[in-house]
Structure 1
Amino acid sequence: MKLFKSNEWQRVKKSKAMVIALAVIALIPSLYAVIFLSSLWDTYGHVSNLPVAVVNQDQTATVNGKTENLGQNLTTSLVNGQDWKFTQVSEKTARSGLKSGKYYMTVTIPSDFTKSSGTLLGKSPKTPTIDIQQNGGRSFFAEKITDAAAEKLKNKVSQSLQKVYLENLLKGTKTSQDGFTKAAKGVSQLGTALGKVQTGAGQLQTGTMTLQTGATTLSNGLLQYTGAMGKLTNGSANLVTGNTQLAASLQKIGTGISQGQAANAANISKLNAGFDKVNQGLQQLSQMQVTIDQSQLNSSAASVSSGLSSVDQNVTAVLADPTVQEKMKTDPAFAQQVSDLKSNLTATEKSSQDLKTSSAALNTAVMQQISGLKTQLTTLSTQAITLNNSAKTAIQQLNDSLSQVANVLATQAAPGATNLAQGATTLTNGLGQLNGQSQTLNGGATALSTGTSQLVAAENQLTMALQATQNGSDQLAQSLANGAVKLSVVHTGTKNVQALTNPVKNKSTSLSTIANNGTGMAPYMMSVGLFVGMISFSTAFDFITLGKKPKSGMHWWAEKQTVMATVWSAQAVIMTGLLVLVDSMAPKHILMTFVVALVTAFAFNQFVTMVIVALGKMGSALLLVFMVLQLSASAGTYPIELSNSFFQVIHPFMPMTYSVDAFRQVISIGGLAINDLLVLLALGLVSMVLTWLMYHRKLQADTVLFPKTAEK
């Protein structure tokens, strides 16, 4: 090729050492990129070889009624897993191994791990703790990897425990629902008992009305009887006073007695009928039995109290769980359901208390009224019986006396004056006895009226208490029904437990993917390799001296580029080719990857040439400093935002900033890197023009000595 026949190549070929040096320099970028990247090309793919020690100190304990050793279960899962190289060892071995570097991390499961796990739904939950230790001084990178492992391990254990306790929580919810159902049944039984009490109250009210009717009839009969007794008393007085006129008036008196008997016959019949009704009412009242099934009321109240107690305990346990608290914070719908459940429970408890209070008040009032009523009925019954017997006896005596008077008047009118006086005296005595019995009868009637009034008042109180109790029972039944309905929407299947254990799934997408660690670091190391290759080239190759004096600055540059272009082109092509062939790099755009490598090598070569031509050996030293700045400011390893402000400021002015981004575009992202290539081409062209000018100035100043043989 004509390129290798240039004067500069002919001068280089004279020195075999220079040819070998240039060949080695052409491989320098490959040494940096290919060999270094191959050592860590797929580091994350070999994480399973990273040794980690597991120390299980856990003791067997009872969790939810079952004997468990969660620490041993976890240890077995880790050792048999494929994520890391877990090995179960003693505490002493783990400690010494971590110190010596045999293990990069130790996982210690404490002795109370299972016991603490069993308290998560208790009154005083204790969070189980796993002790993880690392030795970052051995390897910072390994520490970061084990950090991720520790977080993954924590999440794995947390999900395992969440699954167990969510199952128990859902079972508790089911138990709460059953408690609501039992409480509702208890309320129904209570309603049935209240219905029986209301039936008894109705019967009591019917008997009271009958008693009140009899008392009214008795009172009316007593009024009529008292009026008749007044007339009889007046007649007796006249009889005693008119003894002197008895003989003449016997006929008239007999006639008056007969008329009086005829006139009072109807009243006496009414009085007897009233006595019969009173006796009938008293008989019905005494036979009436009012019973309240207190045992059934107590049983129903106990059922309600038991159900509510079970509900309260289960709901309190559910709400105390940290997982549920977290769920309430992150899920507003779930938090609203919990709030509604609390409100219904509060209303239910209030209704239960109202029912309990009403039941106690009802029981006390009814028992007091029934006790007083029984006492009054006993007294009233005794008095009424005595009164009836006395009244009947008095009426019978009155009728007998009147019959005797009529008989005497009819058979012994003339000689009966003396007997008439005696009969008048007897009549007066009988009337006195009858009047005494009338007072007793009036007192009994008054007591009967008072008792019936008290009984009516008690019935009213009983009716109001029963109504209040019925209302409370309805409210309680409604609250229990609402609670049962809301709990019925909570399902307790395996899928529900799984969904609550992992309530959120990550759906992440990326505009581009990196196959492995080597592919991710390749843009950075390729840029570093090419820049280092150019610096190495500048130390071995003379950028100034030519075999003969050039015609111009451009000719001078062109002669040097016959060798330089061969070297930087070889560096770019060999490095990229070996990465594809040896390290199996698979760029998104393989052809553009070679283009980016060539453009980058061209830009770096022109830039390095410009600095060396301008500053000589001092330029080489400055290029090393500049390379260090580029390593820090090009964002090749970490995002530039993680660096300090100085490197963020110089970041846009570093050539490697654009070469790294260009390689990323064509290797991993799939872009064309047009903007980056334009910047690199601009850098190369500007450096190239400046190099021409500096060569031209040196040529004009004649500051360079060329070999004499070259001038001939």
Structure 2
Amino acid sequence: MLRKEWKGLVHNKLLLVVVVAIVLIPTIYTTLFLGSMWDPYGNLDKLPVAVVNEDKAVSYNDRELNVGEELTDKLREEESLCFNFVDAETAERGLRNGTYYMVITIPEDFSANAATVMDEKPEKMELAYQTNPGTNYIASKMSETAMEKVKNSVAEEVTKTYTQAVFDQIAEVGDGMQDAADGSRDLKDGVNKISDGNRTITDNLETLADSSLTFRQGSDTLRVGLKAYVDGVSTVKDGAGQLDSGAAELKDGAAAAVSGVNELSDGTGTLASGAEELKSGAGTLHAGLSKLDGQIPALRGGVDQLVQGTGALAGGAAQLQTGGTSLKVGVSNADAAMAELCGGLETLRQSTETLPDAAEQLHKGAGVLVEGTEMLEAGSGDLKTGIGMLKAGMETVNGEDGANSQQLADGVSALNQGLDQLYTMLTTGKEGGGSAQNSGEAAAAQSKVDVSDAKAALETLYGVRDGLQGKAGDLEASVDALGSVNPVSADGLEAALEEAVASGDIGQAAAIADQAIAVAKENENAVYEGNSRLESAAAQLRESSSAVREAGESVSAAADAAVQGLDSVDGQIMSGAENRQPSAADAQVMEQVVNAVGGLRDSSELLAEKTAAYTGGVKAAAKKMAVLETGAEALHSGATQTKAGAEKLEAGTDGLSQKTPFLKAGIEQAAAAGGQFRTEAMKPLLNGADSLLDGITGVSDGAGRVKEGAQTLQGKVPELAEGVSQLDQGAGSLDDGAGTLSDGAKRLDDGAKALLAGSGQLYDGAAQLKDGTGSLVSGTGELTANNSTLLDGASQLSEGAGQIQKGAGQLRDGSAELGDGILQAADGSHTLSTSLLDGAEQVKNTKTTDNTVEMFAAPVETNETMITTVENNGHAMAPYMMSVGLWVGCIAFSLMYPLTKYKGKLKSGFSWWLSKASVLYAIAVLQAVAMVLLLHVFDGFDPIEMGRTIGFACLASVAFMSVMYFFTNFIGKVGSFLMLVFMVVQLAGSVGTYPLEISGSFVPYLHKWVPFTYSVEAFRSTISGGESIQNAVIFMIILCVVFTGLTLIEFQLRARKIKAGKHILANWLEEKGLA
């Protein structure tokens, strides 16, 4: 079976190609994958990084500090990354599109922050950098690692700058210590002078102590003498006057003594408090007094200006007081105005409650306005057409050039003439009898003809008149309709805006309304002009039409009456003609005819007047028609434009109705804020104004006092100048004895206080003595009564003298102690001078070099020792990928090669297994050897132990193939699928990339139980020259033996079942397509 297996493989060209391809799978897998990432860390100089330098140079310790420029210069020399120096915009764009993997930004204050190192709160130097992990996470991490090196480099350079600055300052400190040493020598000389002054003071205090002892003895003698004087006072009455004078002198002297002692006490107190300050500043005082003496003239000028300024200050204070009063009044008025404003805001807030409804109504009203303007446009068009028809009717009534009107006037005139003739003839006939009758008949017949003609003409005009009146009525109706529509359209726009304004101070509403009104106003003048002209013409037409109608009705009535009268006269005349015989009845009839003709003539005159009015009205109406037609044309044009403005107003009010709720909320907030402002701001402001006015009053009073003090100061300046000169002269001596005076002044102050108490007692005794001597002069009885008081005063004087003597002794002792302290100070100043000289010498001897600065900037260097060697990332990842490649190659072979088929006769399970194992293990060894050698050829793979690497690769490949052989033979393709899944588990558990300690929490549970763990460790050891691979070899051998044994058992059992003709699992898997 073994020979047939190999023979079948050799003769099956396609299967042979497949086997060769399978052998190369691990090589392809490792060579290509590792080649893509063979040495990324060695090619970091090709990784593009953008650098943006926005830093500005600053001055630090009299030198220019430009850390940003120094950093960019250093990065240009670096090859750790591919640095590109661009602007911020280019860097940002490149980072987003993947041109750059990191952007390093040196901020504007980089050098400025570096210069704050010695400040109380130094600012750290912030070097900003941006990465885009979404473009390439590994590249961003590499950039961050390089960024640490950049950071350390910057820190080293800045530290060098700091170190150099510190050493420069140390040099300056050395110079300062030398100056201090020189000053300490001067101090020593001053202390010696103070010691000499102190000895002088001690000698003087010794003299004072001796003198005070003499004074005490004299006071005791005085007390004894006074006792003797009291005993003999009764015998010295004659000398009482002299004693009184002496007592007065004694009192004055005691008062002077008290005054002097007071001044001494004040002086010693001041001396004690200022002696300590004088001790440290005596030298400075002496120099300052010299300068002060030279500045006295400037002081005089300044005092003069001060006097002038205090005058101006007093005037300004008065004005300030007036202004403060006005301010208080103004604040009060402002508070009242604020209260009124708050009230107005509240009113406005209440008014805005209905503002949204009003805005909505305004919007609806604008819609109604649009509808009205549409009606106005249509009505004005109809009116224009009606006026044209009316004009034609007027021309028909009036006739061509007024012919019809003239005809009517001529007919009425002829009628009047005929009636006059008839009336004359009738009256003449009445008086002349029958001859007249014939004439009357003829005249009556002629008059009847004339009246009939006039009546016919009037009847002709009746129809035209009725048509004219109908047209005039239509015109009046149209004018009335125009008067009711046009005012609504124009006035309605104003009313809508007024309603919007009246509902509240709505600025936004006003803006919207103004926009609509601006459009409407473009055509407003034309509408109003046409409307005015139309109304004027219509009014005149109404008047003319009314006059024509009234005249026509009067003419018609008069003509009817004339015709009726003529008919009556005609009947009467004809009746009289038939009788031919005059009679009394004829006379009566004639009388009636005459009266009727008279009435007819009166009516005819009225007819003439009305006809004239009618004719004039018709002509005037005809003339006004042209004006009326022009007005109608202007009205129609204005109505069209007004309609467009109304439509824009409707659109504007729509936005207004939407914005008014926001306006209402804003007004409510303003009302609330106004009340809060008045409570929190105006009330404290009002109180502050009262306090300010009180303070201004105090300032005004103080200004007056300052003015008086300045004037007094001006008078004392000469004395000050003299005193400064004297003080300058004495300052030198004061400088010598200042130290001694400090302690002595304290003791002198204590003695002066005691002396002050004694001098007060002396003054009291002297006063009592004066009173006693006065009483002695006035009467010896009173002198005797006051003897005891005199003796008490003498005792007190003796006690005060004792206290003075004691205080003088204390001053002497204190001066001696001060002398000891001065000697100690002299020793200390000598020590200080010596130490400062030594320190200055040491500082000068301190030498700094560039190496010293380098040491301060970077005191630590790292020295890495690698116990194993890994040349690059490809060698580091090779153990991981070689294990994966071998495993994938074994899976591919198990899938492609017929492991469960046998050639020839089935002899035994072992023979069957051996025939397959001979090919399988040979392929496992070949793919391992090919993988290592071709990886060396194509990628430069060069492990430390090449032989051990190849040997272990063969062992691992055989072990992996044993596992695949068992599972594929046992459960077919399902086994291969399971091994593929198991490979993923091994990828996670073998920690082939990251250390176990930083891997996922589940990894430790898998790590020891997956083959990849041992293969990766073994390959790492052979590649880098690490420790023994014994454990890995043992694990692989056990893995190979165990699964080979299991496979052999499985083949034995399967062969037995096949020989027995039993159904096996492989058959079922084949039926299901899984074999």
- 1:157 deviation in Å? 1.2
RMSD: 4.2
The reply on whether 1:502 has 2:855 as its aligned counterpart is: no
5 Å-filtered alignment, 1:409-428, equals none
1:150 aligns with 2:147: yes
Following superposition, the deviation at residue 161 of structure 1 comes to 1.2
Distance 1:564 1:574 in 2: 15
SS in structure 1 of the partner of residue 64 of structure 2: strand
Amino acid at match of 1:43: P
Judged with a 3 Å threshold, the aligned counterparts in structure 2 of structure 1 residues 607 and 450 are, in CA distance, closer, same or farther, namely closer
Tell me, in whole angstroms, the C-alpha distance in 2 between the residues paired with 1:528 and 1:359.
97
Confirm or deny: 8 A CA contact 2:51 2:85 kept in the other structure: yes
Is residue 2:175 matched to residue 1:165?
Answer: no
Determine which of 808, 818, 829 is the counterpart of 1:465: 818
Amino acid at match of 1:106: V
Residues 262-312 of structure 1 deviation map (CA, whole Å, 9 limit, x = unaligned) = xxxxxxxxxxxxxxxxxxxxxxxxxxxxxx9x999648899xxxxxxxxxx
**Partner letter of residue 895 of structure 2?**
T
Of 62, 66, 76, the match for 2:63 = 66
2:193 corresponds to which of 196, 205, 221: 196
- State the 1:113 CA deviation: 1.7
**Are the aligned partners of 1:186 and 1:300 in contact in 2 as well (CA < 8 Å)?**
no
* The one of 981, 986, 1009 aligned to 1:630: 986
Does 2:79 align with 1:82? yes
User: CA shift at 1:549, angstroms?
Assistant: 3.6
Q: Relative to structure 1, is the Cα distance of residues 199 and 364 closer, same or farther in structure 2, using a 3 angstrom cutoff?
A: closer
57-66 or 558-567, larger mean C-alpha shift: 57-66
Q: Which amino acid aligns with 2:54?
A: Q
Q: Which runs of no fewer than 5 residues in structure 1 stay unpaired? A: 221-291, 303-355, 377-445, 706-712
CA distance in 2 between counterparts of 1:679 and 1:167 reads: 63
The answer to whether the 8 A contact 1:79-1:86 is kept is: yes
* Alpha-carbon spacing, 1:367–1:197, altered in 2? closer, same or farther (3 Å): farther
Structure 1 contact 190–297 (Cα < 8 Å) conserved: no
Mapped partners of 1:30, 1:630: distance in 2: 20
Q: Does 1:575 align with 2:922?
A: no
Counterpart amino acid of 1:631? L
The corresponding residue for 1:25 is: 22
Q: Does 1:493 align with 2:490?
A: no
Matching residue's letter, 2:49: V
By how many angstroms is 1:547 displaced?
A: 0.5
Q: Does the CA contact (< 8 Å) of 1:34 and 1:583 recur in 2?
A: yes
What is the deviation of 1:152? 1.4
**SS of the residue aligned with 2:859?**
coil
Partner of 1:545: 901
User: Aligned partners of 1:689 and 1:486: how far apart in 2?
Assistant: 89
Shift of 1:196: 2.9
- Is residue 54 from structure 1 mapped to residue 51 from structure 2 by the alignment? yes
Mapped partners of 1:593, 1:679: distance in 2: 16
Letter aligned with residue 87 of structure 2: S
The AA in structure 2 aligned to 1:667 is: I
SS in 2 for 1:623: helix
Distance 1:504 1:70, change over 3 A: closer
* Structure 1 residues 212 and 50, CA gap change in structure 2 (3 angstroms): closer
Map Cα deviations across residues 145-173 of structure 1 (whole Å, 9 max, x no partner).
00101211111112211221122234334
Measured at CA, do residues 596 and 205 of structure 1 come closer, stay the same or move farther in structure 2, by a change above 3 Å?
same
**Alpha-carbon distance in structure 1 between the residues aligned to 2:838 and 2:963:** 79
Tell me the residue number matched to 1:99: 96
Q: Deviations over 1:530-584 (max 9, x none)?
A: 0011011111101111112443333222211221122111111111112223322
Q: 1:473-492 counterparts in 2 under 5 A?
A: none
Q: Does 1:137 align with 2:130?
A: no
- What pairs with 1:102-113 in structure 2 (closer than 5 Å)? 102-113=99-110
Q: 1:219 to 1:469 in 2, by over 3 A?
A: closer
Give the C-alpha shift of residue 628 in structure 1: 0.7
| Residue of structure 2 in register with 1:38 after alignment | 35
**Residue type at the aligned position of 2:196:** T
Structure 1 residues 563-615: Cα deviation after superposition (integer angstroms, max 9, x where no partner): 11221111111111122233222222111111111110111011111111111
Q: Distance in 2 between matches of 1:506 and 1:152?
A: 13
Equivalent positions of 1:311-330 (< 5 A) are: none
SS in 1 for 2:49: strand
Does the CA contact (< 8 Å) of 2:943 and 2:1022 recur in 1?
yes
Instruction: Give aligned-pair identity as a percent.
Output: 31
Question: In structure 1, which of residues 590, 602, 605 is the aligned counterpart of residue 961 of structure 2?
Answer: 605
How much has 1:448 moved relative to structure 2? 12
**Bigger helix share:** 2
1:665 aligns with 2:662: no
SS in 2 for 1:504: coil
2:144 partner SS: helix
Shift of 1:214: 11
Question: Amino acid of the residue matched to residue 582 of structure 1?
Answer: F
SS at match of 2:1008: helix
Taking a change above 3 Å as real, the CA distance of residues 684 and 511 of structure 1, as seen in their structure-2 partners, is: same
Contact 1:531 1:627 in 2 (8 A): yes
1:115 matched to 2:112? yes
State the Cα deviation string for residues 55-86 of structure 1 (Å, max 9, x = none). Answer: 12222322232234322222232234222111
Measure the CA separation in 2 of the matches of 1:677 and 1:657: 12
In the alignment, is the contact (CA less than 8 A) between 2:198 and 2:815 conserved in 1? yes
Report the secondary structure of 2:939's partner residue.
coil
The residue number in structure 2 matching 1:401 is none
Contact persistence 2:198–2:741 (CA under 8 A): no
Question: How far 1:469 sits from its partner (Å)?
Answer: 4.7
In the comparison of the two structures, how many residue pairs are matched? 512
Query: CA–CA distance in 1 between the matches of 2:181 and 2:827?
Result: 10
> In the aligned structure 2, how far is the partner of 1:217 from the partner of 1:112?
81
* Deviations 1:133-190 (CA, angstroms, capped at 9, x unpaired): 1111111110110010121111111221122112223433444455455445434432
Q: Is the 8 A contact 2:201 2:815 kept in 1?
A: no
Within-5 A mapping of 1:159-238: 159-176=156-173, 178-202=175-199
Higher relative contact order (CA 8 A, sep 6+): 2
Query: CA 1:104–1:219 in structure 2 vs 1: closer, same or farther (change >3 Å)?
Result: closer
Superposed, which structure 2 residues align to 1:204-603 within 5 Å? Answer: 298=281, 362-363=741-742, 365=744, 457-471=810-824, 493-494=848-849, 495-603=851-959
Q: Distance in 1 between matches of 2:172 and 2:152?
A: 29
CA distance in 2, matches of 1:190, 1:500: 38
After TM superposition, give the deviation of residue 623 of structure 1 in Å: 0.8
Cα deviation, 1:354-384, whole Å, max 9, x if unaligned, reads xx9x9668447469969x99xx9xxxxxxxx
Q: Distance in 2 between matches of 1:550 and 1:479?
A: 114
Q: Distance in 2 between matches of 1:194 and 1:554?
A: 119
Q: Is the 8 A contact 1:189 1:300 kept in 2?
A: no
Per-residue CA distance 1:87-117 (angstroms, 9 max, x = gap): 1111111111111101111111112222222
Asked if the contact 1:51/1:86 (under 8 Å) is kept, the reply is: yes
1:7–1:486 CA distance, 2 compared to 1 (3 A):
farther
Displacement of 1:123 after TM fit? 2.5
Question: Residue 215 of structure 1: CA displacement?
Answer: 11
Higher mean C-alpha deviation, range 663-672 or range 674-683: 663-672
Native 8 Å contact 1:184 1:477 kept in 2: no
Residue 160 of structure 1 aligns to a residue in which SS?
helix
AA in 2 matched with 1:149: A
CA change 1:512–1:692 in 2 (3 A) is: same
DSSP-derived class of the 1:18 partner: helix
